[in-house]
Amino acid sequence: MIDSAQMVKKIFTQKSGRVETNKGEEYYNSLFEKAKNRLKSLRAQPALRDVDIMDVLETEGVNRRDFMKWVSATTATLMLPPMFAPLVAEATELMNRVPVIWIELQDCAGNTEALLRSSAPTVDDLLFDVLSLEFHHALMACAGHDAEHQLDEAMEHFKGKYLLFVEGSIPTGMNGNYGTIGPAGETFQEHLMRLSKDAAAVVAVGTCATFGGVPAAAPNPTKAVGVMDLVRGKPVVNIPACPANPANMVGVVLHYVLTGQIPELDSLLRPKFAFGYRIHDNCERRAHFDAGEFVEEWGDEGAKNNWCLYKVGCKGPMTFNNCSIIRYNEGTNWPIGAGHGCIGCSEPDFWDKYAYQRPMANANIKPPTGGVERTVDEFGLGLLTATAIGIGVHAVASVVANKKSKEEEEK
């Protein structure tokens, strides 16, 4: 059993796994030609849904200018140079050529609800109206045997071509009988394995599907696991978070439409374009962390002045996601912007390890040589006076410097 100090040290000394954002002219020229040929091939295929993306956007009040702004932002999110923007725009029009089967397992349907309950849907939300969604428990009109028949028909007709989206964890305890589905009482595990067998790729959406999420939290009575723990020999993409950001879902689909392949993944099978950076790296409150200015308790002066939330439990320094860049609801806001620290919902076992309103560990970790600036992202945690509350090593030095500065001013 690893103790908290070892765990924190491991987190802050691991490589961030950041993607190489510039792979050279030759690479991008080759990818551009490949994407052009891929889109040409898709355009020659019949549309699976008679839906025009521009008609959908116009109905919701999104004009061409707004759409092209979204295209530019999405191209950047996918870490592609501007020359790809016209291809990304074309790919959105061809999303109705890619069949999608979406299943719900052991979950709250939060990722689906995040899309459905949007009062002002974003372009990302609206693109799901264009996808050829062949099966979705929560959205389809038919039920019972009719729904099962539609699923079987879609699997047969699009064999080897469909993207399988999975929402929810898979219970493996009691021979999988904690979760069954269909007239034959098929377990969730059997259901997943049957559907993933002939999928082009499997996309696990939300933290439950990726790492087990809430059902897998201790003591994990149903022995819940994520998709990647069961599916083998098939491309698997994890899009964690609770709920997953629609922009990241669309990004994965667009990458597949553009290239016919899944995006580059990290060691946890997350797309690097979305999970290649820590929340902390691009946080709007990072300057307060560097200055040693922290919220000590809810409602204090620090909270009123939007200071760093690390000491009240923000897990931004150890959480990989692009929330601080793309945010939610057309970039309107995100949890830290709304005044609450990151709870690390895109990381494995976050319910057991991260979701507390206090720093992660009591750890006496000394900063390595080289200076505070360089070591903040290598260690990030240290001992804060006699209280033994873990905070960033950089923060410790910053707090001391900040206090010394104030004392000098008072003198």
Give Rg (Cα) of the chain. 23
DSSP 206: S
283 known member of a binding site: yes
Tracing tokens 């989206």 back to the chain, one arrives at: 165
Peptide bond into 82 cis (omega under 30): no
Confidence of residue 264 (pLDDT cuts 50, 70, 90): very high
pLDDT at 404 (0 to 100): 53
CA-nearest of 146, 240, 156, 236 to 194 is: 156
Confidence band for 329, pLDDT divided at 50, 70 and 90: confident
Task: Give, rounded to a whole angstrom, the gap between the first and last alpha carbons of the chain.
Answer: 50
Instruction: Please indicate if the annotation marks 323 as binding a ligand.
Output: yes
Are 213 and 207 spatial neighbours (Cβ–Cβ below 8 Å)?
Answer: yes
**Whole-number pLDDT of residue 383:** 29
Q: pTM for the whole thing?
A: 0.80
The rounded percent of the chain whose pLDDT value lies above 70 is 80
Strand order in the sheet with 201-205: 132-136, 99-104, 163-167, 201-205, 236-239
Q: 255 labelled as ligand-binding? A: no
The single-letter DSSP state of residue 202 is E
Q: From the centroid of its chain, how far is CA 291?
A: 29
Q: Which of 130-134, 202-206, 270-274, 313-317 has the lowest mean pLDDT?
A: 130-134
342 is annotated as contributing to ligand binding: yes
- All structural domains of the chain, each given as residue ranges with its CATH number in brackets, are 19-275 (3.40.50.700), 279-410 (4.10.480.10)
The C-alpha atoms of residue 304 and residue 170 are separated, in whole angstroms, by 42
Nearest residue to 320 (alpha-carbon basis) of 346, 294, 297, 283: 346
Q: Give percent of the chain above pLDDT 90.
A: 52
Phi, psi of 239 (to 5 degrees): -120, 80
Check residues 217 and 379 and name the one with the higher pLDDT.
217
281-322 pLDDT, tens digit per residue, is 899 999 998 888 999 999 999 999 999 999 888 999 889 999
Q: Would you say 142 is a known binding-site residue?
A: no
What tens digit of pLDDT does each residue of 339-388 get? 999 999 999 998 888 867 777 654 332 333 333 333 344 434 332 332 23
Residue 143 has pLDDT above 50, yes or no: yes
Q: What is the mean pLDDT of the chain?
A: 82
Q: How far is CA 247 from CA 124, 157, 309, in A?
A: 6, 29, 26
CB 259 within 8 A of CB 38: yes
How many CB atoms lie under 10 A from the CB of residue 208? 29
Q: What are phi and psi of 235, to 5 degrees?
A: -60, 125
